[in-house]
Amino acid sequence: MPDRTDKGMAAAAGPCASIPAEHMPFVRQVLDRVGDKWSMLIIAVLENGPLRYTDLQRQIPGISQRMLTHTLRQLVEDGLVTRTAYAEVPPRVEYALAPLGRGLREIVMRLIGWVTDHHAEIRSHRSRVGTVTFAPRP
């Protein structure tokens, strides 16, 4: 069987076929980041404009302070979210969607809507195969 990396392509057919093999690790890394549940929820919550850290934390049930800080740093690093610090007393920091993040927001909102619309159906399938719905992570 020929090695696809010899030709510089990651796959012979399908959506990955147009991606050069040397780009695949980066593509997977970005998909992992933007597909993360916390990233998607932060992007969704920021749809109506800038929010302060505590407002973000209040609007995303279940996110820990550590995870919110970590995810915000990653989203800022990737240019999806902006962080603006104001020189005030007390200091104020706001997070907002960057232009790149606004383009992703539409996709995220559709995905969240799809999950919401099919919630009962997915639960039903999980219960039929004995899958635990909310298994704690080790």
- Tell me the CATH number at 23: 1.10.10.10
pLDDT at residue 38, as a whole number: 96
Confidence of residue 96 (pLDDT cuts 50, 70, 90): very high
Q: How far apart are alpha carbons 90 and 14 in whole angstroms?
A: 53
Reduced to 3 states, what is the DSSP secondary structure of residue 100?
Answer: helix
- Residue 43 included in any domain: yes
- Residue 7 included in any domain: no
Cα–chain-centroid distance for residue 127?
Answer: 27
* CA neighbor of 112 nearest in space, from 42, 12, 29: 42
pLDDT at residue 9, as a whole number: 55
pLDDT at residue 63, as a whole number: 96
pLDDT at residue 35, as a whole number: 85
Residue 97 has pLDDT above 80, yes or no: yes
pLDDT tens per residue across span 30-83: 888 888 999 999 999 999 999 999 999 999 999 999 999 999 999 999 999 999
Give the residue carrying structure tokens 């990955």.
16
25 vs 60 pLDDT, higher one:
60
pLDDT at residue 133, as a whole number: 56
Q: How far apart are alpha carbons 134 and 91 in whole angstroms?
A: 38
Residue 81 backbone dihedrals phi, psi, to 5 degrees: -130, 145
- CA count, 13 A, side-chain hemisphere, 135: 7
Question: What order of strands is seen across the sheet that includes strand 92-97?
Answer: 51-52, 92-97, 81-86
- Residue 138 included in any domain: no
Residue 15 backbone dihedrals phi, psi, to 5 degrees: -65, -25
Domain coverage including residue 81: 19-115
- Residue 120 included in any domain: no
pLDDT (average), residues 15-36: 86
- Residue 30 included in any domain: yes
**Is the CB of residue 68 less than 8 Å from the CB of residue 56?**
yes
Lowest mean pLDDT of 65-69, 93-97, 106-110, name the range: 106-110
